[in-house]
Amino acid sequence: MAQTLPFDAPLGKDAGPAGASPAPPRPLAPSGRRSLLAGRLGYHLLLAPAALLLLTFYILPVVRVLWISVVEPHPGLGNYAELASPPVRHVLTTTAAICTLTTTITVLLAYVVAYAITHCGRITRRLLMLGVILPLWISVLVRSIAWVALLRRQGVVNSTLLQLGIIHQPLALIWNELGVTIGMVHYMLPYGILPLVANMRLIDPSFTTAARGLGASPVQAFRRIFLPLSLPGVIAAGVLVFIFSLGFYATPVLLGGGKVIMVTEYISSQIMNVLDWGTGTMLATTMVATVLVLLVLLSRAADLRQVFGAK
């Protein structure tokens, strides 16, 4: 579950094809051309193991899921009519609502943290970054156990508040939408913060200084200069968090306690318990389509490589 890297690592800038760089001096000219060809073949061979592994054990199984959705139990789009059925609609509405809520809260909090990280001294920055990165390394199950211990009726939060006399009845903090949202925001925050930091680092501080020098108030300088410049980062963080939220499994199940059923849990139970491959694969296909559409939107709104901090 630790998925730190995409945000602090570039997506691999092209160093340019070998042929485009100045050819190495070759004293033995006659063999030059042949070995260049052999070289390119050699580099193609380097791709082979990963390509074979991915095609056989990733792409084929995934394509198969898409295929099953239109042929089982009957060929045609019959499975997709299920999208209108009340239980599926309920699951989709729940998923959309929780993902939207999670994304909104995450991006708001992430913005504040990223702003502080890019506007503070070196030591504070390092400490804050460490606090952001550490949770990424902790298993989502470990965190869910901790949230259960903290939030349940006799949990740490409720018993502390009761002892302090702030509340007289334990609060229902878990096994409902609130619990799921707390757990999901906690998981998603680093994925919101890191792309925003990458984006804000690129904003030239002299722009805001110039605005201030020309008489803008701090609020004006922020609203009219900094905020618009950070908007691509906001969109990128939002779309990424939304995509990751859609596919989330462990936290909604553990903190939702069967009362908040999101699409991944529903698909799993369709396959594992009901053995309804038609509905399961149809929903899986719908998820893939949604994610791809979101990615296209993201690539239009922002230069992906810049967003991920490659520049």
Q: Find the DSSP H helices in 28-176.
A: 32-54, 60-71, 78-81, 86-118, 122-133, 140-151, 156-163
In the region spanning residues 69 to 108, those forming contacts with other proteins, defined by CB under 8 A, are: none
Contact characters 138-177, other proteins, x per CB under 8 A: xxxxxxxxxxxxx-x-xxx--x------------------
Which one among 87, 217, 296, 297 touches other proteins, defined by CB under 8 A? 217
Q: Does 49 bind other proteins (CB under 8 A)?
A: yes
> Of 108-127, which residues contact other proteins (CB under 8 A)?
109, 112-113, 115-117, 119-120, 124-126
Q: Which of 70, 92, 135, 177 binds other proteins (CB under 8 A)?
A: 135
**Residue 32 touching other proteins (CB under 8 A):** no
DSSP letter, residue 157:
H
Among 86, 100, 179, 190, binds other proteins (CB under 8 A): 190
Q: Which of 199, 230, 264, 279 binds other proteins (CB under 8 A)?
A: 264
243 binds other proteins (CB under 8 A): yes
CA dist 111 and 18 (Å) reads 41
**CA–CA gap between residue 311 and residue 307 (Å, rounded):** 9
φ/ψ bin of 77: left (φ > 0), alpha (ψ from -120 to 50), beta (otherwise): alpha
Rg (CA), the chain: 25
For other proteins, the closer CB: 63 or 274: 63
Give the residue from 38, 47, 39 showing the smallest Cα distance to 18: 39
Q: Name 247's Cβ contacts closer than 8 Å, sequence gap at least 6.
A: 264, 287, 291
Q: Does 272 bind other proteins (CB under 8 A)?
A: yes
